[in-house]
Structure 1
Amino acid sequence: MADVLEFVRAYRLLGRPVLTTGNSFHFKAGAYSAELAEAVLALMESKTGRFDELLIDGEEVRPQAATLSNPWSNIELCYVLDASGAVPVFKNIEQLMARSKSYVRQSLPPHFYLLDDDVLSSEEPLDPQVKSLQAICRLIVCLADLAHFHDEKKSSDEYKLVFVADDSSKGERTVTLYPFLDKSLLAFEVGIALVDSLQGSNLDVNPHLLKERAIFRASLIEHLAGHFDGRERFRLLVSTWSKFVELYENNLATYLSGFSFHKIKQEIATAQITIADQMSKVVGDISGKILSVPVSLVAVIAIAKADSGLESTILVAGLTITSALLAETLAAQKLQYDRIKHSRRMMFSAHFSSARQYPADLKRCLEDAVDGLKENERKLKRSLLALRAICWIPAIAATTLHSFIFQGYLSQGAKQIMKLLLSLSVPL
């Protein structure tokens, strides 16, 4: 395997000789030096090409057998770089893009070298063109992961990526890109953070990744709609990358807002059901207890048929106690009603504070829910007040009837009580 770093070290030690042909250079020196011997050995070990000629003191030497341990008077060599594209050493960036069609199908190697510019891709500071090239190649690899289909034929002259819209009713159904490398593309800045985050390998850390990938594809189709040439579509995507990212973020925000608003609707519906259920329980409790009022009214009839005043008095006392207990029970229900009303205010207060950000339909749902609950509260409150008054009817009716039937006894008893009080008030 070729070692680009070894080649770069050797090439720089040799003084960066100029290429005499498309992929070879000559070097000649008239004196021995340990540094020069180290450079020739490093060139042999780099395996980035082959020696077309290696002359030491006028005699040709086989590179495989050369040790260079003995000093020489002069040395001359011709080195031919591998031009297959497998070795990432190039005359310039144009030659890199012309030879390496495979780089539209895979990431650039971690190290590659441009002879004319003396640029090693892994050296800081990064050359702007190299940085841009790396970003574009990474973009192509990530787009391939996001595409529904891509051309697997490595021998094909054009690499094809096909994106299909999940919802074709909103416009164009598919978009095909033909990624390519061209020096003109290096003038554009492409950020790869977005496409890196959307790779399928991130599914374990992002549960919403599938939906985000679908939004990316839909945004890509929307952005490139109206352009029909695959290469021009790719050029447009690279040249307007920042605008595309903005479109994607807007579409994602719209989706997240819709998802959030749907969740809020569910929260409102749940709160509405919970409050209504609590009110229903209060009404149920009241319904069971208020049935004692008609029963108590029936007991009033027994007063008219009582054989004695004592019996009638006991019946009146029982009905009065029953009415008092029912009134206290209704008072407790009123406290429960107050707690439910307070809970309703607390549950919906957060939604009202954010209502200005809600869409019209969500605002309407919120207002309808609260208005409906308020109407239920008003009816329940009126019912509680009315029932608290009604629960005293049996006691009042019993007392009135008892007083009417036994008014003589009551009058006589009242007179005796008055005499007793007066006698107690007279001083001895």
Structure 2
Amino acid sequence: MVDVLIFAEAYRSLGRPVLATGNAFDFRASCFDPKINTAIEALAISKTGRFDELVVDGHDISSSVMELPKQWSSIELTFVLDTSGMVPIFKNFDQLMARSKSFVRAQLPEVFYLLEEDILSSEEPFDKRIITLQSLCRLIVYLADLAHFHDEKESSDEYKLVFVAEDIAKGERAITLYPYLDRELLTFEVGTDLVDSLQMNSLDKSPHLFKERSIFRATLIEYLSGYHGGKERFKALVATWSQFLSLYGNNLSTYLSGFSFHKAKQEVAAAQLTIADQMSKVVSDISGKILGVPISLIAVIAISKADNALESSILVVGILMASALLAETLAAQKLQYDRIKHSRLILFSSHQQKLIQYPTDLRNYIHESVVALVANETKLKRSLLILRCLSWFPAMTAASVHAYIYRKDLTEGVMMIANFACGVIHRFCA
């Protein structure tokens, strides 16, 4: 496996000899130094090339054996760098940029070395051009993931990324980008945090990823529709990356606001149905029980047909108990009504606090829902109050009929109780 770090350290130990040809450098020394032995052995270990020549004290050393004497008087070598494209070592920045066509289809090597500039990409302080180049390569790879189509022919001179609009009515149908790399693009600053977050591997982190990717494509088409040519569009995107991010942020905010408003509308509708359903249950519960009022009134007729005061009294007590049970049932329904009203206040309070932030149609919808529910609550409260009063009507009627029929007996009984009380008071005072 190629190790650029080992090569860079060895190359520096040898004094960074210049390339004699396009991909080979020579080194000569006439004084023994153990660091030179270590560097030569490191070159072989790095697997970044081969020794075309290695002569120690006039004797050729086989690169396959690579056993250097522990002492020598002179040493000469020619090291040829691998040019297969698998070794990320370049003569200078110009050669790196000349290889840029291969980097638009894949990530820039994580570690690479520039011989003349003595720049190791992983070593601080980082060269600004290298940082920008790495960002551009990441940007191109991420754009390829976001594009609907891209040219996969490695032999093609131009790498094409095609973005298609999902809503043709809003503007241009599609655009094509031709990503490329050159020195001019390295003067711009490009951040890749956004496009990185839009990659498909971020699906678990963002529930709106598909919509965000769609908004990114639509924004890209909108932003670059005024430019002609794939390379011009790509250059404009890189040069004005911050303005593009601002437009995307505005478009995303518009979508999220609309999504939030739609969600709020659904929550209001669900709350309205829930409250209405609970009030309907209260009405259903009391509708069957209120039939006890006319039944109790019918029982009043039996009082007039009773044979004696005892039978009549038993009927009155029965009707009184029925009225009391019905009144308690209605009182329980009143408590249920209070809980429903409290729930309505809680469910709608958060939305009413945000009314200023909501659009007019949503504000009107919430206002209408609250007004309708309050009207239902008022009607239900009034019905419960009236029915609770009516629940005592049979008892009062029965007591009145019983008192009227047996008024003589009741009068005598009252007089007897009054006389008895007066006698007790008189004896107590005496």
- 1:311 aligned partner: 311
Indicate the residue corresponding to 1:118 in structure 2: 118
Please report how far the alpha carbon of residue 318 of structure 1 lies from its aligned counterpart in structure 2 after TM superposition.
Answer: 2.9
**Could you say what secondary structure the match of 2:376 adopts?**
helix
3-state SS of paired residue (1:176): strand
Question: Which residue identity does 1:397 align to in structure 2?
Answer: T
Distance in 2, Cα, partners of 1:52 & 1:185: 38
Structure 2 gaps of 5+ residues are none
Q: Runs of 5+ in structure 1 lacking a partner?
A: none
After TM superposition, give the deviation of residue 59 of structure 1 in Å: 8.4
Pair 1:309–1:37, CA change in 2 (3 A): closer
| Structure 1 residues 289 and 117: CA distance shift in structure 2, 3 A | same
Letter in 1 for 2:351: H
- Name the SS for the 2:135 alignment partner: helix
Q: Could you tell me how far 1:286 is from its partner in structure 2?
A: 1.6
Equivalences for 1:388-427 in 2 at 5 Å? 388-427=388-427
SS at 2:87 equivalent:
coil
Amino acid of the structure 2 residue aligned with 1:302: A
| 1:352, distance to aligned residue in structure 2 (A) | 2.8
- Alignment coverage as a number of residue pairs: 428
2:376 match: 376
Comparing 90-99 and 37-46, the one that deviates more: 37-46
Do structure 1's residue 202 and structure 2's residue 202 form an aligned pair?
A: yes
Percent identity between the two aligned chains: 61
CA–CA separation in structure 2 for the residues paired with 1:312 and 1:3? 111
The worse-fitting range, judged by mean Cα deviation, of 45-54 and 250-259 is: 45-54
Partner of 1:136: 136
Which residue does the alignment assign to 2:107? 107
Q: Which residue of 2 aligns with 1:283?
A: 283
Return the letter of the residue paired with 2:210: L
CA distance in 1, matches of 2:410, 2:419: 14
C-alpha distance 413-192 of structure 1, shift in aligned 2 (>3 A): same
Q: What's the CA shift for 1:86?
A: 4.0
Aligned CA distance change for structure 1 residues 408 and 36 (closer, same or farther; 3 Å): closer
1:339 counterpart residue number: 339
Match of 1:298 in 2: 298
2:168 and 2:79 map into 1 onto residues whose CA distance is 57
Q: Tell me whether 96-105 or 46-55 shows the greater mean CA deviation.
A: 46-55
SS at match of 2:302: helix
Give the SS at the match of 2:387. helix
Residue in 2 that maps onto 1:189: 189
State the match for 2:14 in structure 1. Answer: 14
Alignment correspondent of 2:89: 89
Contact 1:85 1:100 in 2 (8 A): no
Separation in structure 2 between the aligned mates of residue 93 and residue 400 of structure 1, nearest angstrom: 112
Distance in 1, Cα, partners of 2:312 & 2:34: 133
SS at match of 1:175: strand
- CA distance in 2 between counterparts of 1:265 and 1:18 reads 72
Deviation of 1:153 after TM superposition, in Å, equals: 0.6
- Measure the CA separation in 2 of the matches of 1:144 and 1:261: 33
TM-score, structure 1 normalization:
0.87
1:67-118 deviation digits (Å, cap 9, x = unpaired): 5538666555555545554432223222211134211111112222212211
Matched, 1:212 2:212: yes
Q: Per-residue deviation at 1:379?
A: 0.5
TM-score, structure 2 as length reference: 0.86
Q: Secondary structure at the match of 2:155?
A: coil
